[in-house]
């Protein structure tokens, strides 16, 4: 655990966004991103406050990559992605968190990064979030 975790929003995210929880893995948490402009957009973040991949023990890092791989295989199938984007920046929130984004060649920002220009956030109803989280969870259970 890094000492810079005080006030880190990602350290609280699993509790703060309880309605977006999909699954707790061995090395990470997976939640749906509240903005579903890109359908199936998820966040996968380290269970402990770590800021760089090279800070992780090799087994943890490899385990996390395996978790990312399982998630993205499911997202690709469920949302018929033409490409998955994996984004690990951490400039604003340094706690390791991956933006896992199914991309379609028909989306208005294609082929640029999702942050290339602003877009209108797409928020779902509480039932819509529940259904989408359940869909992805069930996809992971049937891998």
Q: Please report, as ranges, the residues that interact with Zn ion according to CB under 5 A.
A: 5, 8, 10-11, 49, 95
CB of 10 to Zn ion, least distance (A): 4
Which residue, 39 or 94, is less far from Zn ion as judged by CB?
Answer: 94
Q: Which is nearer to Zn ion, 51 or 70 (CB)?
A: 51
Torsion of CA 35, 36, 37, 38, to 10 degrees: 120
Q: Which is nearer to Zn ion, 10 or 32 (CB)?
A: 10
- Minimum distance of Zn ion from residue 85's CB (angstroms): 22
- Nearest Cα residue to 81 out of 55, 50, 52, 103: 103
- The arrangement of strands across the sheet holding 28-32 comes to 21-24, 28-32, 42-46, 97-103, 83-87
């Amino acid at each position: 655990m890094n000492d810079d975790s005080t006030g880190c929003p990602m350290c609280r995210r699993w509790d703060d966004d309880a309605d977006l929880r999909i699954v707790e893995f061995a090395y990470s948490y997976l939640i749906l991103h509240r903005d579903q402009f890109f359908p199936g957009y998820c966040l996968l973040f380290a269970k402990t406050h770590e800021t760089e991949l090279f800070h992780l023990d090799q087994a943890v890092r490899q385990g996390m990559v395996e978790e990312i791989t399982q998630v993205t295989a499911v997202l690709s199938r469920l949302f018929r992605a033409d490409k998955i984007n994996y984004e690990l920046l951490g400039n604003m929130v340094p706690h390791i968190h991956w933006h896992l984004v199914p991309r379609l060649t028909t989306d208005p920002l294609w082929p640029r990064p999702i942050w290339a220009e602003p877009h209108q956030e797409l928020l779902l109803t509480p039932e819509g979030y529940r259904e989408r989280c359940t869909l992805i969870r069930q996809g992971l259970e049937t891998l």
